[in-house]
DNA sequence: TTGTACGCGTTATCAG
DNA sequence: CTGATAACGCGTACAA
């Protein structure tokens, strides 16, 4: 493959000049400029980013390690992050941790070796030694969606406390008293926080906190299904199940349907996370939506600040309740007409 | 950051020896070996992949350019590809073309500059000059999901001809005669092929081919919705709408629901592409599923072959019909109990 | 405005 | 088995 040297020879200039016109890092005569560009074109020259990075010690690349690429929440997040990064001239390398610490570590290690300029990490439940190293090593790092206890890293996330409060009071207003919650891993901030908000909201609404209604899953569909099974097997099953993320909601729905139960007649369901297809489920699922686009944007901006060596404040946005009809809400039989089509 | 040189000094050996133990590219005394490893550990040395790549002219990285990261089909595909690649010691860098040729080109260019060892490309509708260059440039390249006319590139894809035939005959068996099809872009092989298979199937089933029932979308939800609107506005609207991918199905469902129509009573729907949530729609959506996992695996293997300089045969797998209840199929009221939870 | 020459961190070659 | 050293392709002082 052609290199600067070839271009230089063909254009009859030195490699330095070629480099200068390619990066316009110094004034160059218009005449030589066009000669160089012509040579570039003729040879189909493609700058070698590897060599450039070695020299400049910067890759214009950020790493993104997400929890689960099959989870639409992360997918939307990745999309937003990509868009924002591209606008700033950065590429994004995505690693899918699949919620497994060892796989997260694999990608963190790989990305670090590839010398990404910074790292956006949705940390898995356990703090691995590697992550601890990276934190203390001072590489530009921003946590996304989740915090880890005891680690001093700027985090960009949504807070669902208010929305969960609104949900519980919505449910109480509907006359429900037996409300169950399927949380994420207790080690995850998103797991703990949502559970805490839920029990607090229960108390505020004057409802009892029944331990048997507090289930824990791992943010995967299978665990949501298992948790729903345990809840429905209870002597006094809940009237409504609130699942801690969209995948566990999917799993819970599976279990409910497999038992031939009606929603919301036999049991209601609500979800933390909102996804496009919730509108099409029968009945449409009441959910708590996060400002995903904004989350992605802010995360990239925060990371770029860190890369620039500037300090960064944590970012906390609010989630919001989207009432539909899966919890026994009164309302028209027909679907509301939220469009899923992007313009 | 520490380099081989630092490690060498600390271990009291030469850089060459350090390199040798790190890559075990040559026999090394056990004693020096442990000394080097100790030094690596002590310094928290992380090999610089950039420098390594510059020297070895290989990045152990493949590029993947997908059509749309918000489309679950591509998401699953990406997941499968990643798994297979990782198993072979490769990283995957994903670029999201968002079905836009210029964005596809952006990523192709970027990935090429980053010197990925090979490229997996789901080409957008138009053949761009860049893609043509790459093809003739001889970089290891495999098309995925879609072919482009007139380009000699190995392709890994699923063929839906048989499945579409099965779907149409299934619909005809149900007594439907007015069946509409919303295809993808005619420029895309997946668009053309599915349309051709559909009309052929119509003929085989002895049904008339009515041009007003042949709509074209762009594989995005909005276009599915618009197409459905046009079809439902027809003086004699179709009994069943078959959408060419899962996003257009989503859009069509939006339109149907917005009009307060019942599925399948007023109009039936079927989808090319199967996604987990189809099970939860009311009624569950009859669909054509592609062997996504296998597609991903085969694509990676094919690309690795090409990277190894070996020739590759095109791979064509079969899609299959999954009958559910959105087209007026008789059957139990309750849902079938397909689980969405992965084990 | 342009050219020469060095070095980025590795691996590979060639002597020892 | 080990060490010294030349590349890899590029950016950038420094000199002209």
Predicted confidence (pLDDT) per residue in A25-37, tens digit:
999 999 999 999 9
Per-residue pLDDT of B43-55, as tens digits, reads 999 999 999 999 9
Instruction: Tokens for A318, please give them.
Output: 């609010």
Task: Look at residue B315 and give its three-state secondary structure.
Answer: strand
Work out the mean pLDDT of chain A and round it to a whole number. Answer: 92
Where does the pLDDT of residue B138 fall: very low under 50, low under 70, confident under 90, or very high at 90 and above?
confident
Per-residue pLDDT of A275-329, as tens digits, reads 988 988 878 999 999 999 999 999 999 999 999 999 999 999 999 999 999 999 9
Task: Look at residue A295 and give its three-state secondary structure.
Answer: helix
Average pLDDT over residues B206-223: 93
The neighbour count for residue B266, using CB atoms within 10 Å, is 13
Where does the pLDDT of residue A257 fall: very low under 50, low under 70, confident under 90, or very high at 90 and above?
confident
> Which residues of A, range 206-245, sit inside 8 Å of B by Cβ?
220-226
Least CB–CB distance from B69: residue in A53, A79, A221 = A79
Q: Are A341 and B254 in contact (CB under 8 A)?
A: yes
Closest CA to B107 of B125, B130, B84, B91: B130
Place of tokens 């074209």: B216
Q: Is A100 on the interface with B (CB under 8 A)?
A: no
Is the pLDDT score of B333 beyond 50? no
Q: Are B323 and B289 in contact (CB under 8 A)?
A: no
User: Which of A93-97, A115-119, A269-273, B32-36 shows the lowest mean pLDDT across its residues?
Assistant: A93-97
Is the pLDDT score of B174 beyond 70? yes
* pLDDT of res. A131: 94
As to burial, measured by CB atoms within 10 angstroms (0-12 exposed, 13-18 middle, 19+ buried), residue B43 is middle
The neighbour count for residue A339, using CB atoms within 10 Å, is 17
Is the pLDDT score of B260 beyond 70? yes
Q: Are B193 and B161 in contact (CB under 8 A)?
A: yes
Task: With residue B167 as reference, give the H or E element that holds it.
Answer: helix B161-173
Rounded CA separation B194/A163 (Å)? 44
Q: Are A179 and A149 in contact (CB under 8 A)?
A: no
Rounded CA separation B234/B210 (Å)? 12
Proximity of residue A17 CB to strand D below 7 A: no
CA distances from A172 to A318, A319, B1 (A): 22, 20, 57
Q: Are B173 and B183 in contact (CB under 8 A)?
A: no
Work out the mean pLDDT of chain B and round it to a whole number. Answer: 92
**B220:A341 CB<8 A:** yes
Rounded CA separation A309/A328 (Å)? 52
* pLDDT of res. B338: 47
CA distances from A294 to A319, B8, B91, B141 (A): 11, 47, 28, 35
**Is residue B239 left, alpha or beta, with left meaning phi > 0 and alpha meaning psi from -120 to 50?**
alpha
Per-residue pLDDT of A176-205, as tens digits, reads 999 999 998 888 888 888 899 999 999 999
Least CB–CB distance from B113: residue in A49, A54, A279 = A49
The neighbour count for residue B259, using CB atoms within 10 Å, is 15
First to last CA, chain B: 42
* pLDDT of res. B212: 96
Rounded CA separation B253/B243 (Å)? 10
* pLDDT of res. B336: 42
User: Which of A140-149, A186-195, B118-127 shows the lowest mean pLDDT across its residues?
Assistant: A186-195
Residues B223, B226, B231, B232, CA torsion sign: positive
Q: Is the peptide bond before B264 cis (omega within 30 degrees of 0)?
A: yes
Rounded CA separation A184/A243 (Å)? 9
Task: Look at residue B176 and give its three-state secondary structure.
Answer: coil
Residues of A in contact with B75 (CB under 8 A): 69-70, 75
Per-residue pLDDT of A36-83, as tens digits, reads 999 999 999 999 999 999 999 999 999 999 999 999 999 999 999 999
Distance in Å from C9's C1' to A156's CA comes to: 34
* pLDDT of res. A192: 84
* pLDDT of res. B186: 83
Rounded CA separation A4/A188 (Å)? 49
Q: Is the peptide bond before A7 cis (omega within 30 degrees of 0)?
A: no
Instruction: Tokens for B139, please give them.
Output: 């970089």
Per-residue pLDDT of B264-315, as tens digits, reads 999 999 999 999 889 888 789 999 999 999 999 999 999 999 999 999 999 9
Closest CA to A48 of A87, B90, A56: A56
Protein residue at shortest CA distance from C1' of C8: A55
Is the pLDDT score of B343 beyond 60? no
Distance in Å from C3's C1' to B141's CA comes to: 39
* pLDDT of res. A137: 87
* pLDDT of res. A268: 97
């Amino acid at each position: 493959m052609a290199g600067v040297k070839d271009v230089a020879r063909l254009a009859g200039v030195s490699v330095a000049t070629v480099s200068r016109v390619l990066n316009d890092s110094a004034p160059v005569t218009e005449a030589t400029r066009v000669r160089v560009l012509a040579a570039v074109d003729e040879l189909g020259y493609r700058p070698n980013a590897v060599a450039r990075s070695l020299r400049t010690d910067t890759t214009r690349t950020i790493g993104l390690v997400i929890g689960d690429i099959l989870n639409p929440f992360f997918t939307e997040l990745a999309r937003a992050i990509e868009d924002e990064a591209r606008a700033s001239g950065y590429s994004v390398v995505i690693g899918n941790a699949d919620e497994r610490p060892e796989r997260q570590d694999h990608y963190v290690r790989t990305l670090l070796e590839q010398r990404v300029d910074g790292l956006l990490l949705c940390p898995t439940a356990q703090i691995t030694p590697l992550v601890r190293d990276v934190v203390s090593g001072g590489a530009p790092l921003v946590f996304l969606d989740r915090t880890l206890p005891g680690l001093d890293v700027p985090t960009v996330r949504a807070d669902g406390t208010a929305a969960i409060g609104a949900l519980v009071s919505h449910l109480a207003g509907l006359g429900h008293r037996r409300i169950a919650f399927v949380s994420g891993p207790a080690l995850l901030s998103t797991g703990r926080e949502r559970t805490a908000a839920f029990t607090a909201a229960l108390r505020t609404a004057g409802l009892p906190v029944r331990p048997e209604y507090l289930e824990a899953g791992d943010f995967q569909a299978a665990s949501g299904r298992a948790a729903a099974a345990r809840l429905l097997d209870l002597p006094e099953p809940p009237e409504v199940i609130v699942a801690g993320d969209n995948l566990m909601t999917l799993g819970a729905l599976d279990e409910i349907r497999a038992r031939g139960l009606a929603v919301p007649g036999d049991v209601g369901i609500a979800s933390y996370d909102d996804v496009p297809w919730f509108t099409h489920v029968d009945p449409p699922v009441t959910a708590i939506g996060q400002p995903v686009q904004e989350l992605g944007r802010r995360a990239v901006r925060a990371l770029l600040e860190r890369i620039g060596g500037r300090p960064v404040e944590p970012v906390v946005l609010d989630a919001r309740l989207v009432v539909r009809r899966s919890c026994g809400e009164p309302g028209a039989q027909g679907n509301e007409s939220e469009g899923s089509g992007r313009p």
